[in-house]
Amino acid sequence: MELDILKLNRAYHRGENNYFDNAEKFIQHVLPGIYLKTDFGDGTILYVDRVDLQMQFKFYYTDEKTGVALKKKVTDKNGKAGTDSIGYGWTTAFASTKEVIQANKFSSENNEKIEALIKDKSCTYIKSPAGIFTQATLPYDQIYEELKNDTLNAVKLTFTNYHQEDKYDFSMRAPNNVLLIRVKDYEKFFSENELPNNITSFVATHNSAGTNQYTFNNLARLVTTCINEKNAAKAKAKEEAGSNWNESEWENNWKADKKSQDWNKVYLIPVRLAYDSSSKNAQLINIQHDLQPTYAKLEGGEDKPLNLSVTYTRFNQE
């Protein structure tokens, strides 16, 4: 591979190809990537800890006065004199960044069991890697109708996971961190490397020592944002409809429209957090899907809705 790349690069400098013009052409014609596959058996996942590009360079030893290349004194174990003074060296020149894509592939032979878990309506699950998310529907309409004349102060939502037995050497644990995000923003959040803004996306850490819970202490800004989004859409539609305005019909269309049917839905996703520890106050700099084997069985489901704690201020009407 080294010789092939070198030959292609020399041909590039002679104007015979354009493979080194940019990253896209290099990937397409020279080195599309490296595929790693484990042979350690089922249940094994490789985590790439570090990726960098090591560059080999070739040099000659020369006479300081004449500049003539010196011959090697010895080149092999038999003591045979060499004919040139070529030397080789290695240096780590480039560390990988987010632009170096790491595409992971996971396969499961127990798809039927996973499908059975997904269809279980008595609870929900979260699983990583590339497994199962929990979807929750939040009662924005109910909150708005009951509190539209009041001030919303705080909205607390807690996901409690069932106790997990640790009876194996490598038992899967509950995810350390989870991301709560609107379904409509999920793909954009990860593709554009966004960070939680505590408006439409939030992070919670698992309380494994005490309550076995993921607690989001204040989703008030999420609730307000979503309510305002719907009210703005309704006001615009009402203005456009004029005397033909039918609120019940609009509500039905709002629920059926693909663009708005996930308006009140959020995902709970296992994630991995990265912090900048160079300063005294660690700053969150990156959030990705958790690629470690984790899972949690959560209380809830269609027949067991979760409790949403709402704190509000109501002025005395007297």
Are the C-beta atoms of residues 149 and 306 closer than 8 Å to each other?
no
Q: Is the CB of residue 156 less than 8 Å from the CB of residue 218? A: yes
Residue 261 and residue 303 in one domain: yes
Backbone angles phi and psi of 212, in degrees to 5? 55, 50
Please tell me whether residues 196 and 265 are part of one structural domain: yes
The per-residue pLDDT for range 286-295, each reduced to its tens digit, is: 999 998 888 8
Inside any domain, residue 8: no
208 and 158, same structural domain? Answer: yes
What's residue 276's pLDDT? 86
Q: Is the dihedral of CA 71, 72, 75, 78 positive or negative?
A: positive
Q: Annotate 120-173 with DSSP letters as a single string.
A: -TTEEEEEETTTB-EEEE--HHHHHHHHTTSEEEEEEEEEEBPP----STTPPB
- Residue 206 within any structural domain of the chain: yes
Lowest mean pLDDT among 40-49, 175-184, 212-221, 267-276: 40-49
Query: pTM for the full model?
Result: 0.74
For residue 256, what are its two tokens? Answer: 């059926």
Model confidence at 159: pLDDT above 90: yes
* Whether pLDDT at 16 is above 80: yes
Is residue 175, in this structure, part of any structural domain at all? yes
User: How far is residue 298's CA from residue 269's CA, in Å, rounded to a whole number?
Assistant: 12
Where is 10: in which H helix or E strand?
helix 2-13
The C-alpha angle with vertex 235 and arms to 223 and 310, in degrees rounded to 5, equals: 20
Write out the H or E segment, with its range, that includes residue 93.
Answer: strand 86-95
pLDDT for res 149: 86
87 and 134 fall within a common domain: no
Taken as a whole, the chain contains a residue count of 318
Domain range for 67: 53-95
3-state SS, residue 216: strand
If asked whether residues 119 and 176 sit together in one domain, one would say yes
76 shares its domain with 205 = no
Show the tokens assigned to 303. 């027949």
User: Which residue carries 């038992």 as its tokens?
Assistant: 171
Q: Which residues, 6 or more positions from 3, have their beta carbon under 8 angstroms from its beta carbon?
A: none
Strands 201-205 and 134-137, sheet pairing: unpaired
Taking residue 195's Cβ as centre, other Cβ atoms within 10 Å add up to: 14
User: How far is it, in rounded angstroms, from Cα 289 to Cα 121?
Assistant: 25
C-alpha to C-alpha distance for 31 and 100, rounded to whole angstroms: 12
Does residue 88 form part of some domain?
Answer: yes
Choose one of 95, 122, 148: the last residue of a domain. 95
* Dist CA 6 CA 316 (whole Å): 81
> In degrees rounded to 5, what are phi and psi of residue 284?
-70, 125
Q: Do 84 and 204 have their domain in common?
A: no
Q: Is residue 101 part of a domain?
A: no
Lowest average pLDDT, out of 42-56, 76-90, 183-197, 251-265, goes to 76-90
Q: Does residue 242 lie in a domain region?
A: yes
DSSP annotation of 293:
-
- Is the same domain home to 132 and 280? yes
Mark whether 144 and 206 lie in a shared domain.
yes
Range ranked top by mean pLDDT from 44-58, 144-158, 288-302: 144-158
Shared domain check, 215 and 167: yes
Tokens standing for residue 153: 């102060």
Residue 282 has a CB neighbour count (10 Å cut-off) of 12
**212 assigned to some structural domain:** yes
Q: Count how many domains the chain has.
A: 2
**Is 65 part of a structural domain of the chain?**
yes
Residues 174 and 293 placed together within one structural domain of the fold: yes
Q: Are residues 196 and 64 in the same domain?
A: no
